[in-house]
Amino acid sequence: MRGTPAVQINRTAVEWSRLYGRYLVASGSATHGELLVEELPLAIGPKCNGPVVCLVCYRPDVPERCIHCGWPLCSACNETEANLHAQLECPLLLASRARFYEMPTGSRYWPQLDSIMPLRVLLAKEAQPERWLNEVAPMEHHEEARRENADIWHADRVNIAQYLRGPCKLAERFSEELIMQVVGVLEVNAFEARTINGYPLRCLYPYTGILAHNCVPNTARSIHPSEGYKVRLRAMVDLEAGQQLQHSYTYTLDGTVQRQAHLQQGKYFRCSCKRCLDASELQTHFSSLKCGQCTEGWLLPKQPTALESSWQCNACDNTTSSQDVREIVENLQAEVNGVQALEMGAKRLEESERLLRKYKSLLHPSHYIATGLRQLLIEMYGRVQGYEMVQLSDQLLERKSSLCRKVLRVLNVFEPGLSRSRAMNLYELHVPLVLLAKNGFIAGTLSGGELRARLVDAIDLLKECVDILQHEDHDSQEGILCGVAKQALEQLTLSVEGLGSELD
């Protein structure tokens, strides 16, 4: 591999176009899972519009304060002198006497904390001027588009730019124009990551951050908190030389209207990928509604990327306005949100099943709301009281298996190959398959050969699960699941080998 200590590059190159600006391409063919980029962040810090968090470990609602500057710092991090806060902003805050003010009880947003991440980027600019000049300064920050949202622009200007230049006494070091550029770079390009303990934060990766967007990505990234939040970018599927490298800037299991709204509001562009331009979303009908005028048809948007497009049935002449569709979807989503807010338990599971049955007459079976409910149910079957795995009847085991397969059919289209979501569902699917096979063998409905064949199918699922998750940080939720899947794979393999000798 070649590159700087901060960035290591393998089979990737930077290109430029009027449409995409700077973007990454595969400089040579790559197989799925192949490592393309390793990069350390230029800066890490708290997310915007959030609660009080420790400025080192990002634990939320921390009541303790730094013993030097008085800003949020948990007791454990206070005891560590060589922490990120002490190395970066603490001396500046102390010297300027910029106090951290308490907000009223019940506040969930501390605007002062919004200045920390931009400040850390500005300090990195001074510490790494070459990296700033070559990698960060050219990053898109959409100043004109951001200025159009006057309220947010004004809030950023007051809470961040003017705060850093005023109370923090940094006016001689950083211009307002530069600070607002940094704010835009972060808004458009920063990645969300999680600490080992699962607390959210933001990271800026100047090289990986210029990945182009696609609602069907061809690269997968994993962030490793135990290695200084190093990001590793891998080929999600096999790639050809010259192929654009793409990642999804939005949630792939949202419908087109929701994805387009998110991208236009937060990233300032309209997506025109194949999935977005196809009203059926690559034949999944992920956003399609049941036509109210005929029995066979589905309502699809006439112009999929236009948020105000009318919708038309693909089997009759029935047309519905975007407002009517939006009201239907919002009402259904409100019901789902109410179920999601319930405490994890039998009632939440049963209500999810009820909504899924109710929506059969309204939504295409693969609609994203129905798919989301299936994902909820997959996570609950086998875990909630009254529905623990050992208690599930064969009928409910079949139900969980069916739910997994339906979600996987969607994921195979939108997140092919090296997808964490696919890996999680592959693991979930193997459990009912194993139990059903063993129950059938005990009941005498399956022969030894049939039992072995079904266990081999489960082994194949686990192998793919491990193949995907082996690249995750070992301490992350996905990394821990990888360890569990490896153990299950070893045990199942031994079982099959034992069966093989018995059948021989």
pLDDT in tens, 243-297: 999 999 999 999 999 999 999 998 999 999 999 999 999 999 999 999 999 999 9
Would you place residue 80 in the very low, low, confident or very high pLDDT band (cuts 50, 70, 90)? confident
Give the three-class secondary structure for 256. helix
At 230, is the secondary structure helix, strand, or coil? strand
Cα distance between the two ends of the chain: 49
Q: How far apart are CA 280 and CA 324, in angstroms?
A: 19
Contacts of 150 (CB under 8 A, 6+ apart): none
Q: How far apart are the C-alpha atoms of 443 and 437, rounded to whole Å?
A: 10
What global pTM score does this model have? 0.92
Please state, for a pLDDT cut of 90, what percent of the chain lies above it: 89
Nearest CA to 305 out of 265, 278, 266 is that of 278
The reported pLDDT for the residue numbered 4 is: 46
- Which of 451-486 are b and which e, b meaning 16 or more Cβ less than 10 Å from the residue's Cβ? bbebbeebbebbbbbbbbbbbbbeebebbebbeebb
Map residue 305 onto helix, strand or coil: coil
Q: How does pLDDT run across 81-129, given as a tens digit for each residue? A: 789 999 999 999 999 999 999 887 777 888 999 999 999 999 999 999 9
Instruction: Please give the pLDDT value at position 82.
Output: 82
Query: How does residue 1 score in pLDDT terms, banded at 50, 70 and 90?
Result: very low
Of 444, 435, 443, 445, give the one whose Cα is nearest residue 495: 435
CA distance 17 to 65: 47
The SS3 of residue 212 is strand
Q: What average pLDDT does this structure show over 140-162? A: 94
* Res 499: pLDDT: 80
pLDDT averaged over every residue in the chain: 94
The torsion angles phi and psi of 73, rounded to 5 degrees, stand at: -160, 120
Percent of residues, the chain, with pLDDT higher than 70: 98
Cα separation values, 24 from 20, 207, 217, Å:
10, 9, 13
Residues 374-428 have pLDDT tens digits of 999 999 999 999 999 999 999 999 999 999 999 999 999 999 999 999 999 999 9
Q: In angstroms, rounded to a whole number, what is the distance separating the alpha carbons of residues 416 and 422?
A: 8
Q: What would the mean pLDDT of 359-387 be, rounded to a whole number?
A: 97
204 in Cβ contact with 121 (< 8 Å): yes
For residue 502, is pLDDT > 70? no
| Pair 427, 492: CB distance under 8 Å | no
Distance between CA atoms of 88 and 328, rounded to whole angstroms? 50
| pLDDT for 317 | 87
Per-residue pLDDT at 21: 85
Tell me, rounded to whole angstroms, the distance of Cα 124 from its chain centroid. Answer: 26
For residue 307, the model assigns a pLDDT of 87
In this prediction, residues 219-228 reach a mean pLDDT of 95
323 Cβ contact list (under 8 Å, min separation 6): none
**What is the amino acid identity at position 261?**
A
The whole-number pLDDT of residue 503 equals: 58
> For residues 404 and 429, is the Cβ–Cβ distance under 8 A?
yes
Other Cβ atoms closer than 10 A to 288: 25
| pLDDT of 2 | 44
Domain boundaries of the chain, sorted by first residue: 7-41+205-247, 51-199, 417-504
Interior CA angle at 319 toward 316 and 320, to 5°?
A: 140
Distance CA 211, CA 299 (A): 33
Q: Does domain 7-41+205-247 correspond to CATH entry 2.170.270.10?
A: yes
The closest of 202, 208, 132 to 174, measured between CA atoms, is 132
In 3D, which of 161, 184, 326 has the Cα closest to residue 266?
184
* Total residues found in the chain within this entry: 504
Secondary structure in 3-state letters for 103-149: CCCCCCCCHHHHHHHHHHHHHHHHHCHHHHHHHHCCCCCCHHHHHHC
- Number of CB atoms found within 10 A of residue 314's CB: 16
pLDDT tens for 232-248 read 999 999 999 999 999 99
DSSP per residue, 260-300: HHHHHHHT------HHHH-TTTTTT-TT-EE-SS-SS-EEE
- pLDDT value at position 3? 44
- pLDDT tens across 159-205, in order? 999 999 999 999 999 999 999 999 999 999 999 999 999 999 999 99
Half-sphere exposure of 55 (CA within 13 A, CB side): 30
